[in-house]
C-alpha cells in the first residue's frame, strides 16, 4: 500500500510540474533523475511512469527514452465537445442541491483565481467544476468529469497564462455563481455555455490549434 501511495504522490507532483511549466512538453525525463528526485526505487518510478503514460502525460520513444507529452489536440477537441453538451445541463441538475456553503466555496475559488498564484489557478477553477459535478448527484456524470479533469487542467494551465482570458474566465464564473445563488438554472447554464465556447476559442486562437478538426 505504501508503494501505491508513493506512486500516486509522484504522479501528482509530476503532473503539477507539467501544469506550471517546470517540465516542458517533449522534455526528456529519465528514471534515474526521477529516482533521485523522489528518493525511491526504480520499481516505484516505473509504476508512476506507466500510469502517467496511460493517462497521456508522458510518452515513451523507442531507443530514446521517456518524454513529457504535448497537449493532445484531438483530446482537447473531444473534451470541449463533451463539455458543451454536458456541463450546462449539469447546472440544471445541480441547482436544487446547491447550498450556501457551496456558493461560498465557489466564490472563494474565484477570489483565489483572481488574487492567487497563476500556478494554482487551474486547481481553483477545477474545484468549481468539482462543486457542480458533486451536486448533480449522478454517479455517471461524476465518472465522466473525473476522466476529463486532467485534460481540463492542462487546458486551463495554458489559457490562465493569458491575462485577458484569465480575467474573462473569472467574470464568467462570477456570473454563473450569481445565477446559481438566485436559483436561476437557465441563466447559469447559458453562461456556462458561453464560458466553454470562449475557452475553446481562446485556446484555438492563441495556441494555433485547429480543435474543430
pLDDT tens readout for residues 45-84: 999 999 999 888 999 888 889 999 987 777 788 889 999 9
In angstroms, rounded to a whole number, what is the distance separating the alpha carbons of residues 7 and 45? 7
Between the CA of residue 84 and those of 80, 90, 169, 197, 210, what are the distances in Å?
Answer: 6, 10, 16, 8, 17
Per DSSP, helices labelled H in the chain are 2-19, 31-38, 42-54, 73-94, 100-115, 118-135, 139-159, 163-182, 185-206
pLDDT value of position 19: 80
In angstroms, rounded to a whole number, what is the distance separating the alpha carbons of residues 124 and 158? 14
Please give the angle made by the CA atoms of 168, 116 and 21, to the nearest 5 degrees.
Answer: 85
The distance from CA 152 to its chain's CA centroid, rounded to whole angstroms, is 3
Residue by residue, pLDDT tens for the chain (213 residues) are 457 788 989 998 998 888 877 888 899 999 888 999 999 998 999 999 999 998 889 998 888 899 999 877 777 888 899 999 999 999 999 999 999 999 999 999 999 999 877 668 888 998 999 999 999 999 999 999 988 888 888 877 777 667 788 899 999 999 999 999 999 999 999 999 999 999 888 887 776 555 454
Q: What is the pTM of this model?
A: 0.79
Q: Which of 102, 110, 104 is nearest to 137 (CA)?
A: 102
The distance from CA 180 to its chain's CA centroid, rounded to whole angstroms, is 22
pLDDT value of position 211: 47
Amino acid at each position: 500500500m505504501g508503494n501505491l501511495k508513493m506512486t500516486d504522490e509522484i504522479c501528482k507532483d509530476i503532473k503539477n510540474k507539467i501544469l506550471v511549466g517546470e517540465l516542458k512538453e517533449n522534455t526528456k525525463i529519465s528514471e534515474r533523475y526521477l529516482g533521485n528526485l523522489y528518493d525511491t526505487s526504480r520499481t516505484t518510478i516505473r509504476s508512476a511512469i506507466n500510469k502517467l503514460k496511460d493517462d497521456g502525460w508522458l510518452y515513451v520513444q523507442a531507443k530514446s527514452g521517456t518524454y513529457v507529452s504535448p497537449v493532445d489536440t484531438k483530446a482537447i477537441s473531444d473534451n470541449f465537445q463533451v463539455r458543451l453538451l454536458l456541463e450546462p445541463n449539469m447546472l440544471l441538475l445541480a441547482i436544487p442541491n446547491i447550498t450556501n456553503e457551496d456558493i461560498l466555496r465557489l466564490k472563494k475559488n474565484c477570489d483565489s483565481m483572481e488574487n492567487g498564484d497563476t500556478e494554482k489557478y487551474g486547481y481553483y477553477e477545477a474545484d468549481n467544476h468539482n462543486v457542480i459535478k458533486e451536486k448533480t448527484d449522478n454517479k455517471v456524470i461524476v465518472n465522466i468529469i473525473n476522466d476529463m479533469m486532467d485534460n481540463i487542467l492542462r487546458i486551463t494551465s495554458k489559457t490562465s497564462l493569458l491575462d485577458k482570458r484569465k480575467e474573462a474566465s473569472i467574470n464568467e464564473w462570477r456570473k454563473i455563481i450569481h445565477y446559481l445563488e438566485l436559483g436561476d438554472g437557465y441563466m447559469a447554464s447559458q453562461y456556462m455555455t458561453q464560458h466553454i465556447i470562449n475557452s475553446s476559442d481562446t485556446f484555438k486562437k492563441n495556441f494555433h490549434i485547429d480543435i474543430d478538426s
